């Protein structure tokens, strides 16, 4: 199946032949669906905190952060082009000579109509107007004459703002009296609040594409001095690139390698799950994970800060408790009462279901069982009430007769199975990607996070290239299968903490718009 040139191509990417063959097997066999046991709801796998409890966790986090390394991890390598799908389609029709007024009245283009009607409300408006002005034109006159094709060319194209080719992190998201802020700029400000140590060091890590790394560096070079002076802090910002070795090959519909015109195999990024390797190389006691587009304007930030510290404090408390348990288990300095306390802790504080077989175990079996359960990476995941947003949610999952708490995406669920479909209907919460993570064991040594990935949680999708259909393979998602064997705690956080920007008009929502 693979020739000498293929092996050379794999070698240049750092992809082993075994890995390539495994990908072919995955294409042929597919990935099994997740087996849901129940939705994680309040009292059944999902924790609800009172205000008093939340405030106690915040105090716990603040004390912990004084003497430990806290870091914010922001996946920022994805392109923003998907935000503008409707605009691209609309502009393509204009260029093909379709009637503007007819397009605007077409319900399929209602989002484009909203975009132009609200253009002055976007944070990038003045920058766009300046670029058009320098070209000897006026954005006001273009709007008045409804020359929308020109505006979109300036907005998306290389001779204008070039937003169609930039990552989300480098787009202007929010307007303020003193100017507009980039998405990454808002993450800097967030970092000051909950990723800052007692010495005023603010640590952030961004995953970026090789193509855009220099643009990120240039942006931070301008931003960092401004905020270091304003808040008397020091930023420690690091970057990593999605590794070429995590790319996956595409195949045709007969599961043969999909070849380009030059005969090489089409290799594609393996999805956000490959970032587990980037995360694996970090060194911190608590790592917050948050998507690049989930940020808000200043007047709503207090909610974000409050609940980030809540999940950070909950994580710190669980870390300290489980580390104490592991110290006792490690030296067998543990009584029967201790073992019972640990079991109860799993069931109450960590919302796990411990098999009834545990009570029949002898003493050493109980010690081994508890040691194996506690000695894992830990993540506390904020969950919001489901209000119809697309994406994954919290569930109890069955595998090999064991139950675990997992974030599950729709693509992992067999909706033709009526019981599975009913479980999803009964779910109440949604995953906003609001995680606080512990990646070290009770001895302070880093786990190898790759040991805790469930390789059978990837998925296959149908795509096209040059007019030909192909099958693409995505690796287990970062907060799905890549963290499948972590200890997971779900906690409810308010919907105000979730403000994603999936389309350009999402920036017109309350959380992003300074009226």
pLDDT band at 389 (very low <50, low <70, confident <90, very high): low
Q: In this structure, is residue 248 part of a structural domain?
A: no
Q: What would the pLDDT profile of 122-153 be if each residue is shown by its tens digit? A: 999 999 999 999 999 999 999 999 999 999 99
Mean pLDDT of 464-492: 92
Of the three residues 112, 141, 165, the one that is the final residue of a domain is: 165
Q: What would the pLDDT profile of 436-448 be if each residue is shown by its tens digit? A: 999 999 999 999 9
pLDDT band at 391 (very low <50, low <70, confident <90, very high): low
How far does CA 275 lie from the centroid of its chain?
10
Cβ-count burial 483-512 (b if 16+ within 10 Å, e if not): bbbbbbbbbbbeeebbbbbebbbebeeebb
Dist CA 479 CA 435 (whole Å): 9
Q: In this structure, is residue 10 part of a structural domain?
A: no
Asked if residue 378 and residue 414 are part of one domain, the reply reads yes
Asked if residue 260 and residue 129 are part of one domain, the reply reads no
Residues in the chain: 515
Asked if residue 431 and residue 353 are part of one domain, the reply reads yes
- pTM beyond 0.75: yes
pLDDT band at 333 (very low <50, low <70, confident <90, very high): confident
Asked if residue 139 and residue 61 are part of one domain, the reply reads no
Report the phi/psi class of residue 332: left, alpha or beta, with left for phi > 0 and alpha for psi in -120 to 50. left
Report whether 277 contacts 450 (CB < 8 A): yes
**Between vectors from CA 457 to CA 415 and to CA 245, what angle results, nearest 5°?**
140
Q: In this structure, is residue 220 part of a structural domain?
A: no
Report whether 290 contacts 478 (CB < 8 A): no
Query: For the chain, what is the domain count?
Result: 2
Asked if residue 317 and residue 372 are part of one domain, the reply reads yes
Given this model, what pLDDT does residue 466 score?
81
Asked if residue 111 and residue 59 are part of one domain, the reply reads no
Q: In this structure, is residue 196 part of a structural domain?
A: no
pLDDT over threshold 80, residue 201 = yes
Q: What would the pLDDT profile of 231-244 be if each residue is shown by its tens digit? A: 999 999 999 998 88
**Distance between start and end Cα atoms, the chain:** 60
pLDDT band at 515 (very low <50, low <70, confident <90, very high): low
Looking at the chain, the whole-number percentage of residues with pLDDT higher than 70 is: 99
Of the three residues 165, 181, 215, the one that is the final residue of a domain is: 165
Report whether 433 contacts 291 (CB < 8 A): yes
Q: In this structure, is residue 397 part of a structural domain?
A: yes
pLDDT band at 81 (very low <50, low <70, confident <90, very high): confident
Other Cβ atoms less than 10 A from the Cβ of 118: the count is 15
Asked if residue 308 and residue 340 are part of one domain, the reply reads yes
Q: Report the 3 state secondary structure along 467-479.
A: CEEEEEEECCCCC
Of the three residues 121, 142, 165, the one that is the final residue of a domain is: 165
Q: In this structure, is residue 207 part of a structural domain?
A: no
Strand partners for 251: 257, 471
Given this model, what pLDDT does residue 390 score?
61
Asked if residue 150 and residue 44 are part of one domain, the reply reads no
Q: Considering only CA atoms, give the Rg of the chain.
A: 25
Q: What would the pLDDT profile of 242-279 be if each residue is shown by its tens digit? A: 888 889 999 999 999 999 999 999 998 888 889 999 99
DSSP annotation string for 110-132: HHHHHHHHTGGGSTTHHHHHHHH
Q: What would the pLDDT profile of 32-58 be if each residue is shown by its tens digit? A: 999 999 999 999 999 999 999 999 999
Average pLDDT of the chain, as a whole number: 94
pLDDT over threshold 70, residue 514 = yes
Q: In this structure, is residue 174 part of a structural domain?
A: no
Asked if residue 94 and residue 140 are part of one domain, the reply reads yes
Q: In this structure, is residue 465 part of a structural domain?
A: yes
Mean pLDDT of 362-389: 93
Report whether 116 contacts 62 (CB < 8 A): no
Q: What would the pLDDT profile of 204-230 be if each residue is shown by its tens digit? A: 999 999 899 999 999 999 999 999 999
Given this model, what pLDDT does residue 398 score?
94
Asked if residue 361 and residue 467 are part of one domain, the reply reads yes
Q: What would the pLDDT profile of 343-360 be if each residue is shown by its tens digit? A: 999 999 999 999 888 999
Which residue's structure tokens are 């949604």? 430
- Find all residues with CB under 8 Å of 136, minimum gap 6, and list them: none
Looking at the chain, the whole-number percentage of residues with pLDDT higher than 90 is: 87
Given this model, what pLDDT does residue 271 score?
83
Containing structural domain, residue 137? 81-165
Asked if residue 126 and residue 46 are part of one domain, the reply reads no
Dist CA 511 CA 414 (whole Å): 34
Asked if residue 127 and residue 51 are part of one domain, the reply reads no
């Amino acid at each position: 199946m693979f020739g000498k040139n293929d092996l050379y191509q794999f070698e240049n990417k750092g992809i082993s032949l075994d890995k390539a063959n495994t990908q072919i097997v995955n294409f042929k066999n597919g990935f099994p669906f997740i087996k849901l046991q129940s939705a994680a709801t309040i009292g059944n796998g999902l924790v609800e905190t009172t205000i008093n409890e939340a405030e106690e966790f915040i105090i716990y986090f603040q004390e912990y952060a004084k003497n430990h390394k806290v870091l914010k991890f922001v996946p920022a390598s994805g392109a923003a082009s998907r935000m503008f799908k409707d605009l691209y389609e609309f502009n393509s029709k204009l260029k093909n000579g379709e009637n503007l007024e007819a397009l605007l009245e077409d319900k399929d283009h209602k989002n484009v109509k909203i975009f132009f009607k609200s253009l002055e409300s976007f944070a990038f408006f003045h920058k766009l107007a300046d670029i058009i002005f320098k070209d000897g034109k006026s954005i006001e006159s273009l709007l008045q004459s409804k020359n929308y094709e020109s505006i979109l060319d300036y907005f998306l194209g290389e001779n204008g703002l070039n937003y169609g080719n930039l990552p989300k992190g480098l787009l202007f998201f929010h307007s303020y009296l003193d100017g507009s802020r980039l998405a990454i700029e808002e993450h800097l400000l967030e970092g000051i609040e909950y990723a800052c140590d007692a010495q005023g060091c603010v640590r952030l890590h961004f995953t970026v594409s090789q193509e855009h790394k220099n643009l990120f560096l240039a942006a931070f070079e301008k931003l960092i001095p401004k905020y270091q002076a304003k808040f008397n802090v020091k930023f420690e910002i690091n970057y990593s690139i999605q590794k070429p070795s995590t790319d996956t090959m595409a195949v045709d519909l007969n599961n043969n390698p999909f070849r380009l015109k030059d005969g090489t195999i089409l290799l594609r990024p393996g999805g956000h799950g490959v970032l587990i390797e980037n995360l694996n190389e970090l060194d911190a006691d608590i790592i917050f994970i948050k998507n690049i587009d989930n940020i808000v304007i200043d007047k709503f930030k207090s909610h974000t800060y409050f609940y980030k510290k809540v999940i950070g404090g909950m994580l710190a408390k669980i870390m300290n408790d489980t580390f104490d348990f592991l110290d006792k288990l490690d030296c067998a300095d543990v009584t029967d009462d201790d073992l019972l306390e640990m079991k109860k802790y799993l069931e109450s504080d960590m919302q796990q279901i411990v098999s009834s077989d545990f009570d029949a175990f002898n003493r050493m079996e109980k010690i081994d069982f508890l040691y194996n359960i506690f000695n894992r990476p830990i993540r506390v995941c904020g969950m919001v009430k489901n209000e119809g947003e697309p994406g994954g949610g919290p569930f109890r999952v069955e595998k090999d007769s064991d139950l675990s708490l997992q974030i599950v995406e729709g693509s992992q669920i067999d909706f033709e199975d009526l019981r599975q479909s009913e479980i999803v209907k009964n779910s109440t919460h949604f995953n906003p990607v609001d995680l606080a993570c512990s990646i070290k064991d009770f001895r302070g040594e880093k786990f190898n996070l790759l040991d805790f990935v469930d390789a059978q949680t990837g998925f296959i999708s149908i795509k096209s290239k040059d007019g030909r259909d192909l099958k693409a393979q995505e690796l287990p998602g970062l907060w799905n299968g890549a963290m499948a064997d972590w200890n997971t705690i779900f906690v409810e956080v308010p919907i105000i903490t979730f403000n994603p920007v999936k389309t350009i008009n999402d920036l017109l929502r309350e959380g992003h718009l300074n009226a």
